[in-house]
Structures are given as C-alpha cells and as structure tokens.
Structure 1
Amino acid sequence: NKEGPRILGGFARPAEKSAAELAQLLAHHALVVDMRPAAEFAAGAVPGTISVPMNASFTTWMGWLVPYDQDFYLIGDAAAVDLAVRDLAMIGLDRVGGWFAPEVVTQWAAAERAPLSVIPQIGALDLSESLKHGGVTLVDVRNPGEWAASHINGARHIPLGHLGRRLDEIPRDKPIVMQCAAGARSMIGASLLKARGIDRVINLTGGFGAWASAGLPTVQ
C-alpha cells in the first residue's frame, strides 16, 4: 500500500496477506481467527483456523480464547478487520499480525488442492437417538449458571472459555457433539476442537433451546 496503513480512530489496519502466506503461517501453527458468520465457517473453512464471528460477543470470546502474548491473524472483510483491530486493542489484544480477505478460503483450497474443513450439523431429535444408543459424546459449553438451571442428561460440561485447556477431558472414541444455548458458542467450540486435530466434531443446531422446544427430557 503506497499510502501506508489506513488509520481508523488511531488504530492502523495491519497488512493484508495472501493464501500462500496463510498456508505458511498455519504450517508454523499460527493462530488464525475466521470472523465470517458461523454458517459460512461450518460450510467450509481453512483447516487449522478457528471461528469467532464478528458480532456483539466477538471481543468477549477473543479475550477468553486468544493469548495476549502472541501474534494472531484475522480473516474478514476490510471493514470487519478495522472494527476488530480497534475493539481488540481496547481490551489489550493488539498483536494482530495481519489479515486475510474472506476470498482467501477458496484461494487456499485451490492453491493447496486440499479440501476445506466442514463442521456437520445435527438436529435435536437425531441427537436424542444417537445418545440413546451411545453413539456420540455430548459437550455442553454453556456457563455454569445455564448448566445448573437445566441440561441434557449425559452431557459433559466444559464452559467455552475453558475448553482449550480441558480438551483432555473429552473422549475421542466416538463423534463429539458440541452444544450451547442456541448453537453459536458451540460452533466456536467445535472449531477449536477441529483446529486441535479432533476431526469427528458435530454442532447441535439450535442448541439447548432446540432440544427443549422439541420436548426432549432435561435434568437439573
């Protein structure tokens, strides 16, 4: 950029990077956060990236999940990146090493000749049947108050903010279904598992709300 970095309210947008640079960064285990909507991430994402959509909860989950002492990178359009850089700096996350436009996802797949990572979805009724037959492990990533109020019998409770440090508590012998209240936090959690090399991960569409609305049993 011959004009230098754009300044937004005193915060400079970092340099845009290419698909080749993304591949190199991921090969060195860099932290890359995809800010696209969760449904787009679920349909196809670059393996090794994590999903934290740009919405009202963005800085909350970035503050929980991103180390403050290392560089990280963002995938999103320029406007989203500008907002993210500003908002993250205000909570002390100021080590954005660069950003990638959303098109980098398909560019990476074409350049690497590799499939994108996909997170399948499951409905409440299908999950109920799978749990009856012991076919899946269910992980509830809601906060302790939500869990105490009501939860699905047999679920393991690991709040999303602690998930990265407690992966060893999750069995790997069967597919893992991630669940929250409505399906948003669980998608972030599912992306964390996928980025750590746990491939058989599924998201519960609609979360606990969909389960309860279907009249399925809960416990306290």
Structure 2
Amino acid sequence: MLLKYFYDEKLSQASYLVGCQATGEAIIVDPSRNIEPYIKTAGAHGVRIVGVTETHIHADFLSGSLELASRLETTLYLSDEGGADWKYEYATGYDHRFLRNGDVFSIGNIKFEVVHTPGHTPEHISLLVTDGGAFTKDPLGIFTGDFVFVGDVGRPDLLEKAVGVHGSSEKMARMMYRSLQQFKNFPDYLQVWPGHGAGSACGKALGAIPSSTIGYEKRTNWALQYNDENLFVEALLAGQPEAPPYFSMMKRLNKEGAEQIGRIAAPLPMGGSIDSVQEWTEQGIVLDTRPASEFATKHIRGSINIPYNKSFVTWAGWLLGYDLPLYLLASNDDVPDILKDLQSIGLDRVIATLDPYIIEQAGESDSRVMKYEEVTMDMIDDAIQTESIYVLDVRSMAEWKEGHFPQANHVMLGHLQEQAPKLPHDKPILVYCKTGGRSAIAASLLQVHGFKEVKSLVGGYEKWSKQKKLPPTRDVK
C-alpha cells in the first residue's frame, strides 16, 4: 500500500493519497482545492487517481473533491449519514457512491470500511483501512478526519456558532461522547490519521505530531479519559476558540459545489497610479500584503493590511468577506501563491493586482497615503496611566481571560470590522495583541474606519508582561 501525506500549514489541514501499487490505482482522502500536488505525486509513483473521499462536509477550507471529479472523472465516495440537511448536493452530477455505516469499498486491493462517527458534524464518517496485499487481513489504520486528532477531538459547536443551528452544541457533544466509546473499542495498534494539526480552529488542543495510534490516544488524549457523559460534555464545550464567520460559507460551498478553478477569471495585472488604487477602495477591498512594518510607514488611504505570512489565510477568512471584490497589492512573485491561498477558502473575486512599489510615488505629506505609529511600552506608558489613550486588546477571549492591561478594552480581531463603529473617536487608540502581528492588522482596519491617530504596540502583551511594569489583570469570570 502507498500512503502519502500532504499538509497545508496555513490551514493546518492534512490530506492523503492512498494507492494500490498492484493495480496502479489511488484515492485522495479529504483533498484541498489545489489538486496539483496530488496529481504530481500520483504520477511520480505510477498510480492513477480513480477515487476521492471525504470524512465530512468541511467548514474551514474548500474541498478539492469537485475539482478531482470534474478534471479526472474520479468516483466520489461521500457520506450519506446525518439526515437530509447534510447531503452533498453537487455529487449527483458526477460518478458517486453515497456511504453509510458499515459500507465497504475498495481501491485496487485496499479496502475501506465506513464507520459513522458523529460529534463534530452529524454526517461525519471515519474510514478503516485494510491492505489486501499484506500478510494479515486486519485493518492497518483509520482516517479520522475531524473526529479524533492527536491529543484532541473535533469541536461540536461549529454548527451552532458558524452555521446557526440553534441548540446543536450539546447534542453534538453527546454524539461525540458516544462515538468515542466506539473508538475506544478499536485495536490499540491501529494508526490514526487525522484531518488537522496544531493551529486548526476545528479543535482547541491539537497536537503537532502528524499521526498517532488508538492506544496512544487512549493513554494521552484528554477527551478519552472521561467515563461520565455529562462531565465530558461540559469539558468539551468549555474554551473552544472563536468560530470564523467564513466557516458558514465553506459549509455551503462544500455542500452545494464551488466554482471550478479553471472557470475563475484571472485577475488583471495592472499598472496605474495611486489615484486608481484609491478608486478601488470605493469599489471593493484593497488588500496590501506587505510586512506590517512597511505598511505602517506608508500605505494608500483606505487599504487593509494582512501580511502574507503563515496567518494570512486565517485572517483573510475572518476579515475580507465574500460580497465585495478584492484588489491585491502584492509583489508579482507572490501573486500566484496568494491567489491559491485565497482560493483555498473560496475568496475568488480578485479583480486586479498591482505591485505596491507604486506607493513610493507619494511623498510623506501626500494626502493619498497614511501611516500609523509603532510604539514601545516606554513610549506609551504615561498615556496609558493617565487614560489619555484608549487601549484596545484584539487577542482571543481565552487570551484576554488569562491576563490583560488593567486599562484595556477587548474586541477580538476577527470581530473588529463590525465593532469598530462603536469605539470612541475622542482620543488616540493603542491596539495590542500577543506579539504585535494582529495589532498591526487591527491598526489598518481602524484607519479604514476613520480613526486618525492609531498606534500599535511593538512586542505586544508578551513583551509587556515580561517587563513586569504592572501586575497583569486576570479576568476570572
């Protein structure tokens, strides 16, 4: 059996190629929308992709199942569990097989047995894998998707928080408990191949190790230590991270079918002036992807800064939305990768791109450009103590509860777009996060919302707490 692991660090998402070398056939498990790596790897190993399967309707990225089915005419193997609201509507237009608990299908000599494992979502399935060419006929491992991770389990609250299914969190948590009891009965030697790693918003304590075994998870995974359902439900629902709003769009597109990448209009590489970029700010969102330090020094009025780094996709999903066109300020070398990253979560409406060198056309006093101040604690401490500056913490709620500036107000960065109009304009704003990355994004958003004197704290709360200038305030609620 051939097993290849693919990992998207920006989405913390894992997918797999499983191949039978004897027959030259392969299947992709939980593919991302960019299917080129699967095609390249299959060719390199002499196998042909004939199938694609998913553990559930994903919420945090756009699946590549439709891309594979349309381009390679693969068979879709998809869940038929969970009731009428959780069906893959697009699948009927392609060769497909809907799966229920206990069903078996094969790719060459590799056998897949379906196990219904609801809890993260109602339709979630896991796949037991048996290598028909091995000496033993016992299963080798299990693809757990967003059911069991290394050190954690899938969150049960996304349907309520991201999709709006009222009252579903506790119901799903109880389903998760029962699914885990079934999981505990599988042999300890089975390998566990999960759908996400550390950093994913689909759980709260995911490990960074790519795979595990059932025996190891039974010993070390916090969620598998509970034998009381009520205590488990309480623990599972506590402390889950905020649910990004784009998750609801991912659910819909992965259920109904997204536009095929080949049909997306390519953005126009533009020349132009600062005036033309300012016109773009009236038509949609101008996204500047330069490092925060460069953006702070000089940027076009009305543009938003999300630096192109490991966190880019996360904050693009939180902040950009799907109802407005995007205009991209990025180096020509970065544009292809940025477009792939945006497309990975369905942000397909990039109208035009322009190298940000154009900003150098403007002098410091040009009203078409802006800047904000990056400050250290020594520079701003007096203003904080005298409350002559409004202090805004944009970290997560969990971070806020662990400790924050005594004078601070809290708005998590992902909610700043809708909360910004409620913030006061009568004094400067100091925005901070853990180390300075999120506060830089927040500063650009505040300027778009009309705040004229914005400052971002270099080093953030982490540096401040190490200096111990003030005892941290702890929220015990």
Normalising by structure 1, we get a TM-score of 0.89
Larger RCO, structures 1/2 (Cα 8 Å, 6+ apart): 1
What does 1:23-42 correspond to in 2, within 5 Å?
A: 23-26=278-281, 28-42=282-296
| 2:290 partner letter | R
Q: Does 1:49 align with 2:330?
A: no
Residues 280 and 327, structure 2, Cα contact 8 Å, conserved in 1? no
Residues 289 and 329, structure 2, Cα contact 8 Å, conserved in 1? yes
Output one character per residue of 1:125-150: Cα deviation in whole Å (capped at 9) or x when no partner. 33221111111000000001111111
Deviation at 1:174, TM superposition (A): 0.6
Residues 125 and 214, structure 1, Cα contact 8 Å, conserved in 2? no
What secondary structure does 1:177 align onto? strand
- In structure 2, the gaps of 5 or more residues are 1-35, 37-260
* Inter-partner Cα distance in structure 2 for 1:52 and 1:39: 12
Residues 13 and 85, structure 1, Cα contact 8 Å, conserved in 2? no
Moved more, 13-22 or 147-156: 13-22
- In structure 1, the gaps of 5 or more residues are 1-8
2:429 corresponds to which of 154, 170, 176: 176
Residues 151 and 208, structure 1, Cα contact 8 Å, conserved in 2? yes
Residues 141 and 186, structure 1, Cα contact 8 Å, conserved in 2? yes
1:87 corresponds to which of 341, 352, 355: 341
Output one character per residue of 1:72-122: Cα deviation in whole Å (capped at 9) or x when no partner. 111111121111111111111111011110212123x26x95352111022
Q: Does 1:195 align with 2:440?
A: no
1:149 corresponds to? 402
2:463 corresponds to which of 207, 210, 215: 210
The 1:116/1:171 distance shift into structure 2, 3 A limit, reads same
Largest Rg, 1 or 2: 2
Deviation at 1:25, TM superposition (A): 1.8
| 2:287 partner letter | V
Specify which structure has the higher proportion of helix: 1
Residues 125 and 211, structure 1, Cα contact 8 Å, conserved in 2? no
Specify which structure has the higher proportion of strand: 2
Q: Does 1:166 align with 2:419?
A: yes
Moved more, 49-58 or 13-22: 13-22
* Inter-partner Cα distance in structure 2 for 1:183 and 1:168: 23
Consecutive aligned runs of 4 or more in structure 1 exceeding 6 Å deviation: none
> Percent same amino acid among aligned pairs?
33
What secondary structure does 2:279 align onto? helix
* Inter-partner Cα distance in structure 2 for 1:25 and 1:153: 40
| 1:61 partner letter | W
| 1:144 partner letter | M
2:357 corresponds to which of 103, 109, 114: 103
Output one character per residue of 1:188-210: Cα deviation in whole Å (capped at 9) or x when no partner. 00000111211111111111012
2:439 corresponds to? 186
Superposition CA RMSD, Å: 2.0
Deviation at 1:38, TM superposition (A): 0.5
| 1:184 partner letter | G
2:277 corresponds to which of 16, 22, 41: 22
What secondary structure does 2:327 align onto? strand
* Inter-partner Cα distance in structure 2 for 1:160 and 1:130: 23
Deviation at 1:13, TM superposition (A): 4.8
Deviation at 1:152, TM superposition (A): 0.6
